[in-house]
Structure 1
Amino acid sequence: MPTAPLAYTQLPDPAQEAKAKALMETLRCLVCQGQSIADSNADLAADMRSLVRQRIQSGETPEQVRAWLVKRYGSWVSYKPPLAADTLILWIAPLLLFALGGVLAVGSLKRRRR
């Protein structure tokens, strides 16, 4: 199967390419999960890069492209998910883990003093 047309080809307009590249760095590869679509070699990431470039080239803003991808793939596709009921755990978990670490550190210090 041939690769997507703009997966590995930059846009002729440097300003549009900069917008597309900045957006691609904030979108999670659905196959690799730990990489952005800008860094991933997965076929799906290549298709998503091409899609981002095509939509930016056609005049859509990065926010419009992100909204379309979130609607299609869910909030998880974005490294910056919006604060909503289904993403609340993503925002609260780091705070809870930090607080738990603080409680454990204080408890450990108190035990050492005895």
Structure 2
Amino acid sequence: MKILKIILILVLFSNLTQLKADEFELQTKITKNLRCLICQGQSVYDSDSEFANSLKIVVNKKIDEGLSEDQIYNFLSGKYGEWILYDPKLNKNTYLLWFLPLLIFLFGGAIILKKTNKNY
């Protein structure tokens, strides 16, 4: 009977540590995708500013509350705007952000094609 108790405790302990590891990975993933509003060009994960540290705490609390990754992004986007996300979702406000590189590529390709056809 004592062995069963020890095995049960070990199984429960290993499950709890796995849950904590999963939560830490999720927190890391989310904070790497958040832009620090104080440090230009740094993610919240990389920054040590007070703002970044407070956002890390907020993300950790939201994970503990059981919110999903998308729910946390929606919460933070509602509070700070879409600019806080390094990888914003496709919506009417971000069409230009997503399609401008493609348009520039196509426009540049058309110019190059036109220039090379003139030479022949």
Q: How does 1:1-114 map to 2 (within 5 A)?
A: 13-111=20-118, 113=119
TM-score by length of 1: 0.75
Moved more, 27-36 or 83-92: 27-36
TM-score by length of 2: 0.72
1:73 Cα shift?
Answer: 0.9
Distance 1:33 1:107 in 2: 40
> Could you report, residue by residue, the CA deviation over 1:49-99 in whole angstroms, capped at 9, with x for unpaired residues?
121112112322222111100110111211221222221211121111111
1:104 Cα shift?
Answer: 2.8
Q: List structure 1 segments (4+ residues) > 3 angstroms apart after TM superposition.
A: none
1:47 Cα shift?
Answer: 1.5
Identity %: 31
Change (3 A) 1:19 1:85: same
Distance 1:107 1:32 in 2: 43
Question: Alignment length, in residue pairs?
Answer: 102
Distance 1:46 1:105 in 2: 48
Structure with larger RCO (C-alpha < 8 A, sep 6+)? 1
Q: What amino acid is the match of 2:58? A: L
Segments of 5+ residues of structure 2 without an aligned counterpart are: 1-18
Give the RMSD, CA atoms, in angstroms. 2.0
Segments of 5+ residues of structure 1 without an aligned counterpart are: 1-11
Larger Rg: 2
